[in-house]
Amino acid sequence: MNYLQTYDFLGNPATRWLMAVALALAAWFGLLLARRVASAAARKVASKTGFRWNHWLADAIPRTSSMVLAVVAVFAGSRLLEVSDRSGAFLAGILVTVLLIQGGVWASHGVTFLVGDIRRRKLEQDPAATTYVGAFGLFARWLVWVLVFLLILSNAGVEITPLLAGLGVGGLAVALAVQTILEDLLASVSIMLDKPFVVGDFLIIGDLMGAVEHIGIKTTRIRSLSGEQLVFSNNDLLASRIRNFGRMRERRVDFSLGVTYQTPRSKIERIPGIIEEAIRSQSNTRFDRSHFKEFGAFALDFETIYFIGVPDFNTYMNIQQAINLRIHEAFEKEGIEFAYPTQTLFVEKGGAGT
């Protein structure tokens, strides 16, 4: 025992070294046990409650690295030793570094957990939002580790102000180099926030049309009526005039028909009523008006406007077909003839001397 007290290593007797090692081992095993107990308790609480952050905690605690716990235990044991200021600062620096890295692991996992939770809740309401949630999750995790890296450098005594300035200049150069990509990325953010359309909406852009199939970070994909996939960059898409039939609450329909000039006036007066009855006989329709509009080149023209309470195009065509058949049937009963392009020639007989 006297040997242990008299033997000196790095300015500390052997007995103090043994006490420091014992404390470090006790602290390490104690931390391992605490991690296991806390993990089991968090899982038990999470299984009984619906609070989703309990589930994150139950999953995050086991992600605490055993190496981090070992560093914490070694640092605790080193408190029993007499060390130089430089050595103490070095040990403290290592401790802060591993704690920052562990904090980054927890924060990154928290972002992943939050993104997954939002995706599960948003998938049925807005499938397009899952793409943007994933993109924001990736950006948030990147930001977490950049912050951890800067904090580690600052803790190591590195002046990070010039580094931040350099990153700013470098970021500007990169931004100029990938300007088009950034424009599309910002456009995708605008689509997510403003929601001019969502997956499933039927769009007409210029002379192209189709249903939105996928909204990505850079492009939006549309399935055309003829079957091929149309790919638009998000920036170009937002710069275009978009007709979104998916947001149509009701469809306004106007159509015209003409009858012959030989139609008696009494029957002409009944035509608007016939058309109105044909429209009102259909479900999901709202009659607006029907008028004898004008004397056409070869017909007496009637203009009719009504509304359909269902935006679906096939439903509209079925209703319009039923209305046309009803009008045709009524005209047959009334003896009213539809007009078609005709030309009447008047030939005058006779000539000079007759």
205 and 280 assigned to the same domain: no
Let me know whether 124 and 234 are in one domain. no
Confidence of residue 294 (pLDDT cuts 50, 70, 90): very high
Residue 317 lies in a domain: yes
* Structural domain includes residue 204: yes
Q: Is 132 in contact with 110 (CB distance < 8 Å)? A: no
Q: Are residues 69 and 158 in the same domain?
A: yes
User: What CATH number is attached to the domain comprising 207?
Assistant: 2.30.30.60
Residue 347 lies in a domain: no
By C-alpha distance, which of 145, 243, 144, 258 is closest to 197? 243
Residue predicted with more confidence, 32 or 194: 32
pLDDT at 17: 77
Same domain, 216 and 303: no
In-domain check, residue 167: yes
Q: Which helix (H) or strand (E) holds 55?
A: helix 52-60
Q: Which tens digit of pLDDT belongs to each residue from 215-261?
A: 877 888 999 988 899 999 888 888 888 888 878 888 899 999 999 99
Q: Could you tell me which of 232, 153, 239, 229 has the C-alpha nearest to residue 190?
A: 239
- On whether residue 343 sits in a domain, the answer given is no
Identify the residue whose tokens are 């170009």.
Answer: 236
Choose between 62 and 292: higher pLDDT.
Answer: 292
The reply to whether 112 falls in a domain is: yes
Q: Between 5 and 92, name the one with better pLDDT.
A: 92
349 inside domain:
no
pLDDT: is 12 or 322 the higher one?
A: 322
What pLDDT shows up at residue 281? 93
Same domain, residue pair 214 and 255: no
Question: For the residues of 125-192, what is the DSSP string, one character each?
Answer: T-TTHHHHHHHHHHHHHHHHHHHHHHHHHHHTT--HHHHHHHHHHHHHHHHHHTHHHHHHHHHHHHHH
Structural domain count, the chain: 3
* Whole-number percent of the chain with pLDDT over 70: 82
69 and 209, same domain (yes or no): no
Between 316 and 127, residue with greater pLDDT: 316
Domain co-membership, 104 together with 87: yes
Helices vs. strands in the chain: H and E counts, helices first: 11, 10
3 state SS of 319: helix
pLDDT tens for each residue of 133-191? 666 777 788 888 888 888 888 777 777 676 666 566 555 555 544 556 667 777 777 77
What's the Cα-to-Cα distance from 161 to each of 88, 101, 230, rounded to whole Å? 26, 21, 47
Is 149 in the same domain as 98? yes
Of 30, 35, 97, 96, nearest to 63 by C-alpha is: 35
- Coil vs helix vs strand at 295: strand
The CB-side HSE value for 78 (13 A sphere, CA atoms) comes to 18
Whether residue 205 is found in the same domain as residue 282: no
Same domain for 304 and 233: no
Last residue of a domain, one of 189, 214, 247: 247
Burial label for 209, CB within 10 Å (0-12, 13-18, 19+), is: middle
Q: How many whole angstroms from its chain centre is CA 171?
A: 26
Q: How far apart are CA 216 and CA 232, in angstroms?
A: 10
3-state SS assignment for residue 345: coil
Owning domain of residue 308: 251-334
171/236 Cα distance (integer angstroms): 24
DSSP output for 243-281:
EEGGG-SSEEEEEEEEE-TTS-HHHHHHHHHHHHHHHHT
Supply the pLDDT for residue 167. 60
Position 320 pLDDT exceeds 90? yes
| Residue tagged 């990147």 (tokens) | 142
Residue 127 scores a pLDDT above 60: no
Nearest to 298 by CA among 263, 348, 255: 263
**Among candidate residues 139, 144, 72, 143, the one with its CA nearest the CA of residue 104:** 144
Reference 288, options 266, 267, 270, 303; nearest CA is 303
pLDDT of 16-25, one tens digit each? 778 888 988 9
Which has more confidence, 126 or 327?
Answer: 327
Asked if 121 and 169 sit in the same domain, the reply is yes
Q: What is the CATH number of the domain that holds 326?
A: 3.30.70.100
Query: What single string gives the DSSP state of each residue in 64-112?
Result: S-HHHHHHHHHHHHHTTS---HHHHHHHHHHHHHHHHHHHHHHHHHHHH
Whether 184 is in a domain gets the answer no
pLDDT at 354 over 50: no
Q: What is the pTM of this model?
A: 0.49
- Statement to judge: residues 225 and 306 lie in one domain: no
